[in-house]
Amino acid sequence: MNWLDEGALYSQISVFLREDLGRGDITSQAIVARNTRARGRFVAGEKMVVAGLEAAEEVFISLDSQAQLEAFVADGEEIEAGKVIARMVGFADVLLAGEQVALNLLQQLSAVATLTNRFVRAVEGTGAAIVDSRNTTPGMRMLERYAVLLGGGRCSRFGLDDGVLVTSNHLAIAGGVADAVKNAKERVGHLHKIKVQVSSEIDLREAISNGADMLLLEGLPVEEVVRLTAVTRNLSSVVSIECSGNITLQNVRAYAEAGANTISIGALMKSARAMTVTFQIQPF
Amino acid sequence: MNWLDEGALYSQISVFLREDLGRGDITSQAIVARNTRARGRFVAGEKMVVAGLEAAEEVFISLDSQAQLEAFVADGEEIEAGKVIARMVGFADVLLAGEQVALNLLQQLSAVATLTNRFVRAVEGTGAAIVDSRNTTPGMRMLERYAVLLGGGRCSRFGLDDGVLVTSNHLAIAGGVADAVKNAKERVGHLHKIKVQVSSEIDLREAISNGADMLLLEGLPVEEVVRLTAVTRNLSSVVSIECSGNITLQNVRAYAEAGANTISIGALMKSARAMTVTFQIQPF
Amino acid sequence: MNWLDEGALYSQISVFLREDLGRGDITSQAIVARNTRARGRFVAGEKMVVAGLEAAEEVFISLDSQAQLEAFVADGEEIEAGKVIARMVGFADVLLAGEQVALNLLQQLSAVATLTNRFVRAVEGTGAAIVDSRNTTPGMRMLERYAVLLGGGRCSRFGLDDGVLVTSNHLAIAGGVADAVKNAKERVGHLHKIKVQVSSEIDLREAISNGADMLLLEGLPVEEVVRLTAVTRNLSSVVSIECSGNITLQNVRAYAEAGANTISIGALMKSARAMTVTFQIQPF
Amino acid sequence: MNWLDEGALYSQISVFLREDLGRGDITSQAIVARNTRARGRFVAGEKMVVAGLEAAEEVFISLDSQAQLEAFVADGEEIEAGKVIARMVGFADVLLAGEQVALNLLQQLSAVATLTNRFVRAVEGTGAAIVDSRNTTPGMRMLERYAVLLGGGRCSRFGLDDGVLVTSNHLAIAGGVADAVKNAKERVGHLHKIKVQVSSEIDLREAISNGADMLLLEGLPVEEVVRLTAVTRNLSSVVSIECSGNITLQNVRAYAEAGANTISIGALMKSARAMTVTFQIQPF
Amino acid sequence: MNWLDEGALYSQISVFLREDLGRGDITSQAIVARNTRARGRFVAGEKMVVAGLEAAEEVFISLDSQAQLEAFVADGEEIEAGKVIARMVGFADVLLAGEQVALNLLQQLSAVATLTNRFVRAVEGTGAAIVDSRNTTPGMRMLERYAVLLGGGRCSRFGLDDGVLVTSNHLAIAGGVADAVKNAKERVGHLHKIKVQVSSEIDLREAISNGADMLLLEGLPVEEVVRLTAVTRNLSSVVSIECSGNITLQNVRAYAEAGANTISIGALMKSARAMTVTFQIQPF
Amino acid sequence: MNWLDEGALYSQISVFLREDLGRGDITSQAIVARNTRARGRFVAGEKMVVAGLEAAEEVFISLDSQAQLEAFVADGEEIEAGKVIARMVGFADVLLAGEQVALNLLQQLSAVATLTNRFVRAVEGTGAAIVDSRNTTPGMRMLERYAVLLGGGRCSRFGLDDGVLVTSNHLAIAGGVADAVKNAKERVGHLHKIKVQVSSEIDLREAISNGADMLLLEGLPVEEVVRLTAVTRNLSSVVSIECSGNITLQNVRAYAEAGANTISIGALMKSARAMTVTFQIQPF
């Protein structure tokens, strides 16, 4: 499932390139002779799980279909500082034009993959899965989710249209867990699993008795998760439990051991600090 | 110059909404009665310079032109944790559908504005300006630059097409500072200022004598900046100096005092950790 | 859940209008005085469940935001031949320009709603739901699904991205029910229900024991459905059964009584013969 | 003239694929190994005139430019039930992703070609041409017209912009045949033929004397067509006569023999019931 | 028929504005206070037939729906130098941003209308119509044709798809007038008039005897036009004659008097020198 | 810097082709056998500097990637009447479909290049550069600027977003040269050169003392330019002077000799009369 839709990638990259290139790279047009060939190297500035190589390659290929990237590592691989990630060969003006967009992608997607990987390792052996959320950078969801997969995480629903999650905000409007779950079950339950946020044992019992498939425990302390998991398991062997909210590398294992099947971590995208990657160009 | 192009904003927001909504919010369709009216409050979870209110408002208005946002603070204002930023009034399904995109924008743009603001304060009184770079999140440059302005920063060129910057990568190809600056000056110098990265005194002298308008000192220690600034001032009173590379809140003032006119900070976008903002919905 | 996404509807209608109008209605431009006001009436030529009124209205409003449609029946209502469905008031050239697209939509969507409704009535009281399939007219899925809902049917997944269905073609490639269900369960089972086509009791037992949520019995005779339903119920009370393939108004009730929870009918769209609806225009 | 604009076909197919694929085929992603090669066969389930092969091929090629379709019959050929229409070779996930859209196109376009062909045969030898109308499925006009041509029919105007037809609705507004024809003749008559709907001998005489090139007899009984054709031929040898309205396979020959030059049949598209075509996939 | 499709106009104007504005007017952003209101006047610098006012208005309205244009003349009116054409009221930054695009449109479309009008007057009373050609500025055909209509001209086919013209280049390929006309007549003659370029009496007789509706005499001297018109009139009273090629204000009347029904003039667009129009802005 | 962005060119050409082709070339479809190969020659009808060959080639390649253009001259070369510019080889229907768009581009771009070249020659040896303006045909700026470069001219800013020019209209709003220049300098002066229109010596002194980089002298007589240049040179050796307004081939050298560094000529585009170029097609 570690895939990137090529058509969608291609069209995103064109948007990113248009943003940066506008009407063209006036510096290179002024000082670089046309048809000068060059090579460039992407070098890791720190330890990281690499993500975004396919995207970086697409940046240059979008500018010139003859550009060639030779990768020395694969997306998803963990590397040390100093490692040469890939080598580009192509026209100098193409390398200069694509440099910043390619770097921005590599730096930010590797950050997501690396951070995800740290969470995944923190829960190793517990059986819990680390999953992303819709807390993504606007416009970057496809790529950021891809980076989560590369880091060893799993994906939650892509958008509001391919999964049901009844949050506390829905409950404030829809009037109680029982009705909300019942309606969701009846109207889209033949198609979708019903996930519902519960914040008390009463809610939890109502959710399960009305047919919820998954429970979301949001922002609860570990002990409460332990307790509610026990209640749940008494009632059903198939209902799944997800935790989220204020989960850190420090406390994530405790949640996993408390019985969470999935742990959703918004920080995967929004707290991932860009990795250091550089791009050095040389003539032939 | 603190502006957002409304047409461009509108079309970005539609892309962001389409990403999150896809074919529609199936949860609300299943459990929320149509035409239920509701209100929601955005609340700051920590101290921050707010940015993205106009964008958040556009999210809801794009979904329903009758949705109304009442802001209690202005974009660019600094607020404390707990402050209610704004109140939304509209249909419940509209509030639920726009919630995540609006939060993602507010959280991330406020992060950029807040971090920028910390750098701006760090150099207060030195005369140096904090400027952004092209180290932005792909697809978010317009919004992230806007957040930089709100934080008190200044903008550098938007893309490769509206400014000339000769980097070390260009020099590797174009063969030396003298030729590069001469060519740039001759070919686009009647239109654009010529900025060139220099890493030695020789380069610097070549750049100035060939007519460079601005010098970029990238990744140099403060003492070297002090020295090169002195050399520059001996040669010209109008050539401008920019520093960048590994500049932090700790060392930024030293660079400002070393004589930099502008200090370009890639971390403004890529190391800005999303601020905590919540959105709570209630029925009327 | 009987809704039409207004933005999506609007953009579909523009495509349909551009197809028919091209560079403009040269007949009206030549013979109709500009700003002549007129009125038009949509009249049912036969008994039908009406669908498409909202779409027809959007056709005229897309041409002139002042055009007004007064509906005498609601989408989803069953009416007799001769009934005036709605009245349009607007500029004559607008009524003439939108006539054919509006009629095409009303005639074809009403056909889908009417046929769906006949199937729904045929299974009344059995508890089985009539659902659509992806056997839709290319480009018309949103509208045709809407017509299915108006006729009393339910919708299956919109596309390949919002639901899992393992068909016999998948099984030919993926190598057996057990592996396919196991992999689907493991990789997307925390998000989606797993539906799998089974054609024998062995398949069925493998599917259930590996965690399938729904079984598709495709093209099987009623007696076999009776038998397999019994086997299923012995194994699980929650696994759902869907029938499809060669199901007609004559035999649909038998399938429902055989124990199918949902009956998927490709013919809802592809065998629906357009209803007769006419549009008569008059000056004021 | 039996052509399909490749650019237009390509862009329609992408719309159709996006509709069905959305963010991707989650079933295949979960259970089909990447790079598994497979082959598939399209088989006719009943006798039909094939149409849509070029479109079906484009579906798979849009997903993977290496996919290969080997056709065993040509678009426009009549085949018997059981005939293998074409064989696809490509990646399994590509075949599974394109299957439904390709089938929908083949089934529906073959239906149009087959029905058209039955009408064409019914009037064989009379000299009358079977022509389509603007009574098409919204968004499918180019493809449905192509199927009409494959079935042996001829096309009428594509849209409102490339031909003049004064209908009874126009006449209700424009005030009488004489004025309408005169104005049309004067304003666009140097470019276009003027076709006008006439429902009486008086109208017919007015139309001809004002320069109409073609007459449309809509919904008239055969005897009236015989009579009005005779009147027309007395007045002009070049004015052309078209019949339409309630024309069936049973009565079409009578209209042709009554003297109609062209017979326009809305049912070509709207009453064409999708043909049975299946697609069976196998691994290598 | 003097109309502009509003949707098409709107989308053209956005393209034009995006071309000129790019990411925004950096001059006004730097020096004009937001929300400053201003007024501007369009003044004719020479005698002209005005065209483009509707387009100019759309420019400003696209930038700000509250902008208001008060026109003192109508599109198509002839005015003297010094005449104030229209007054704009709106925000200063909007007036400054739209100025150049609006001027470019007014100056160039008025040029087309004015030149057309001079040709129309030159043939007054002869019964010949001045018509445009496909010799238009790429991307501007709709607007330039509109200007031709405003100048009193008539339009020929919009593009290759809404009319048949067999040129000498077609004949070089299609092998002789007889075959070309016969094929065209048979394949699209029930829909379209057949126009064919003839360069000799033999061609002309072949064209007419095979059913051509219109003859194009391209680049022939007036005397030859006189002669061929006489031949034509002997053969048919309805076949129409068009002249084109090297027709000037000096010789156009001679061609009209020679019997041409329509005179097609490529220079209407390509030799029209932009009119002088100025735009002066003032604060309130 | 004589370049054309291929992606941008490609997308412009598709717009131009769609405008002319609409739903397809009905004449060729009716009378030209598919797959007939042909060749065509572009021939210059008068002396000219050729521009647009790359664009013309793209027209045919957009229609059929196998079409081949063999150029006998290069873009930017000056040729005599009668010269064969290029030869096309391809399918006859492709040559016929692309003919008009290719000719329109060649005729109009060569006109711009030729006229520019005449101005460039007129100032030869004076050191002044001929530059274009934003007085371009809407939608054609990229191509027209390219033609200016081919004629030996230089380009000014592309749009309002990549350069600062304070015009008299700005000054009317912004309140005087001093403030306008000061604000521009402060807000975007670290990025852009500040060009300001001055119409008096007082303005000129204010502009220079506030840091303007370039002065625009618009519509002033030569003697005044001489005088103001002298004043400028007394104050600064680096401030650049641009003249524009009513500059003709007759007076341009006088302005150059008066001291203008750049001379901006709106007429380059708007008064360029299309060159005569023909396209003759033959079968093989």
Residues C172, C169: Cα–Cα separation, whole Å: 5
Which chains sit next to F, with 3 or more Cβ pairs under 8 A? A, B, C, D, E
Per-residue pLDDT at F2: 40
- Which residues of D are less than 8 Å from B23 in CB distance? 22
Percent of all residues in chain D with a pLDDT value above 90, rounded to a whole number: 86
Residues C253, C125: Cα–Cα separation, whole Å: 10
Q: How far is C181 from chain B (nearest CA, A)?
A: 25
- Which residues of D are less than 8 Å from F30 in CB distance? 1
Residue E139 forms part of a structural domain? no
Residues E274, E277: Cα–Cα separation, whole Å: 9
Residues C233, A221: Cα–Cα separation, whole Å: 40
CA angle B210, B216, B217 (to 5 degrees): 120
A66 lies within 8 A of chain F by CB: no
What is the DSSP secondary-structure string of D185-216? HHHHTTTB-EEEE--SHHHHHHHHHTT-SEEE
Per-residue pLDDT at A4: 65
Burial tier of E224 (Cβ tally within 10 Å: 0-12, 13-18, 19+): middle
Smallest CA–CA distance from B280 into chain A, residue? A169
Residue A150 forms part of a structural domain? no
Evaluate if residue C109 carries a pLDDT over 60. yes
Instruction: Choose between D10 and D222: higher pLDDT.
Output: D222
The CATH number covering residue A258 comes to 3.20.20.70
Q: How far is F101 from chain D (nearest CA, A)?
A: 17
- Which residues of E are less than 8 Å from B8 in CB distance? 23
Instruction: Choose between D233 and F269: higher pLDDT.
Output: D233
Looking at residue A80, the DSSP 8-state letter turns out to be -
The CATH number covering residue B15 comes to 3.90.1170.20
Q: How far is C276 from chain A (nearest CA, A)?
A: 32
What is the DSSP secondary-structure string of A129-152? EEE--S---TT-HHHHHHHHHHTT
Do B108 and B207 fall within a single domain? no
Which regions of chain B are under pLDDT 70?
1-4
Per-residue pLDDT at F267: 86
Range F136-153 average pLDDT: 94
Percent of all residues in chain A with a pLDDT value above 70, rounded to a whole number: 99
Nearest-CA neighbor of F13 among F92, F105, F75? Answer: F105
Percent of all residues in chain C with a pLDDT value above 70, rounded to a whole number: 99
Other CB atoms closer than 10 Å to residue F209's CB: what's the count?
14
Cβ pair B34:C5 closer than 8 A: no
Per-residue pLDDT at B67: 95
A216 lies within 8 A of chain C by CB: no
Residues E186, F30: Cα–Cα separation, whole Å: 9
Smallest CA–CA distance from E19 into chain A, residue? A23
Per-residue pLDDT at B1: 34
Q: How many domains does chain B have?
A: 2
Per-residue pLDDT at A41: 98
State which amino acid sits at residue B30: A
Do A261 and A276 fall within a single domain? no
- Which residues of F are less than 8 Å from C23 in CB distance? 22
Interface with A, mutate which of D23, D25, D94 (most A CBs under 10 A): D23
Do F248 and F276 fall within a single domain? no
Cβ pair D3:F30 closer than 8 A: no
Instruction: Note whether A166 and A160 are within 8 A (CB).
Output: no
Per-residue pLDDT at B50: 98
Do A115 and A76 fall within a single domain? yes
Smallest CA–CA distance from C24 into chain D, residue? D161
Which chains sit next to E, with 3 or more Cβ pairs under 8 A? A, B, C, D, F
Range D93-113 average pLDDT: 96
Nearest to C20 among D16, D134, D170 (CB): D134
| DSSP run (H or E) holding C113 | helix C92-122
Residue C103 forms part of a structural domain? yes
* Rounded alpha-carbon distances, angstroms, from residue C62 to C66, C104, F86: 9, 16, 47
B219 lies within 8 A of chain C by CB: no
Evaluate if residue F237 carries a pLDDT over 90. no
- Which residues of A are less than 8 Å from B166 in CB distance? 27, 31
Instruction: Note whether F108 and F274 are within 8 A (CB).
Output: yes
Range D214-241 average pLDDT: 96
F165 lies within 8 A of chain B by CB: no
Residue C157 forms part of a structural domain? no
Evaluate if residue A231 carries a pLDDT over 70. yes
Which C positions 7-36 lie with beta carbon below 8 A of chain B?
A: 8
E159 lies within 8 A of chain A by CB: no
Instruction: Note whether A130 and A154 are within 8 A (CB).
Output: yes
Evaluate if residue D15 carries a pLDDT over 90. yes
Residue whose entry in the numeric block shows the structure tokens 């109680």: A176
Q: How far is F102 from chain E (nearest CA, A)?
A: 9
E44 lies within 8 A of chain F by CB: no
Do C98 and C188 fall within a single domain? no
Do E116 and E179 fall within a single domain? no
Residue C149 forms part of a structural domain? no
Q: How far is C191 from chain A (nearest CA, A)?
A: 7
pTM over cut 0.90: yes
Sign of the torsion formed by the C-alpha atoms of E187, E190, E193 and E199 = positive
Range C149-176 average pLDDT: 93
Per-residue pLDDT at C26: 92
Range F9-26 average pLDDT: 93
- Which residues of A are less than 8 Å from D22 in CB distance? 162
Dihedral of the alpha carbons of E103, E105, E107, E111, in degrees to the nearest 10: -170
Q: How far is F144 from chain A (nearest CA, A)?
A: 14
Interface with C, mutate which of D15, D23, D27, D270 (most C CBs under 10 A): D27
Q: What is the mean pLDDT of chain D?
A: 94
Residue A116 forms part of a structural domain? yes
Smallest CA–CA distance from B5 into chain E, residue? E24
Residue F133 forms part of a structural domain? no
Q: What is the mean pLDDT of chain F?
A: 94
Do F172 and F223 fall within a single domain? yes
Smallest CA–CA distance from F6 into chain A, residue? A63
Count, residues in chain D: 284
Nearest to D101 among C138, C271, C273 (CB): C138
Taking only the tens place, the pLDDT of each residue in C36-77 is: 999 999 999 999 999 999 999 999 999 999 999 999 999 999
Nearest to B158 among E23, E29, E34 (CB): E23
Which chains sit next to A, with 3 or more Cβ pairs under 8 A? B, C, D, E, F
Do C261 and C276 fall within a single domain? no
Evaluate if residue E4 carries a pLDDT over 70. no
| Token pair recorded at residue D62 | 């849009």
Q: How many CB pairs below 8 Å do chains C and D form together?
A: 213
Residue E1 forms part of a structural domain? no
Do C52 and C100 fall within a single domain? yes
Q: How far is B177 from chain A (nearest CA, A)?
A: 10
Do D169 and D242 fall within a single domain? yes
Residue whose entry in the numeric block shows the structure tokens 């460079």: B212
Q: How many CB pairs below 8 Å do chains A and D form together?
A: 12
- Which residues of F are less than 8 Å from C21 in CB distance? none
D205 lies within 8 A of chain E by CB: no
Cβ pair A282:B96 closer than 8 A: no
* Rounded alpha-carbon distances, angstroms, from residue B18 to A157, B21, B24, C8: 14, 5, 9, 10
Residues B136, B124: Cα–Cα separation, whole Å: 24
- Which residues of C are less than 8 Å from F23 in CB distance? 22
Nearest to B1 among E22, E23, E29 (CB): E29
- Which residues of F are less than 8 Å from C22 in CB distance? 22-23
Do D33 and D60 fall within a single domain? yes
Q: How many CB pairs below 8 Å do chains B and E form together?
A: 12
Model-level ipTM above the cut of 0.90? yes
Taking only the tens place, the pLDDT of each residue in F50-87 is: 999 999 999 999 999 999 999 999 999 999 999 999 99
Residue D47 C-beta-side C-alpha neighbours within 13 Å:
3
What's the pLDDT band for E87 if we cut at 50, 70, 90? Answer: very high
| Token pair recorded at residue A20 | 């940066």
Evaluate if residue D271 carries a pLDDT over 90. no
Instruction: Note whether A247 and A263 are within 8 A (CB).
Output: yes
C139 lies within 8 A of chain E by CB: no
Instruction: Note whether C153 and C268 are within 8 A (CB).
Output: yes
Evaluate if residue A3 carries a pLDDT over 70. no
Q: How far is B189 from chain F (nearest CA, A)?
A: 9
Range F143-160 average pLDDT: 94
Q: How far is D24 from chain C (nearest CA, A)?
A: 5
Do C250 and C180 fall within a single domain? yes
| DSSP run (H or E) holding C235 | helix C222-235
| Token pair recorded at residue D176 | 């009488």
| Domain of residue F261, residue span | 163-265
D94 lies within 8 A of chain C by CB: no
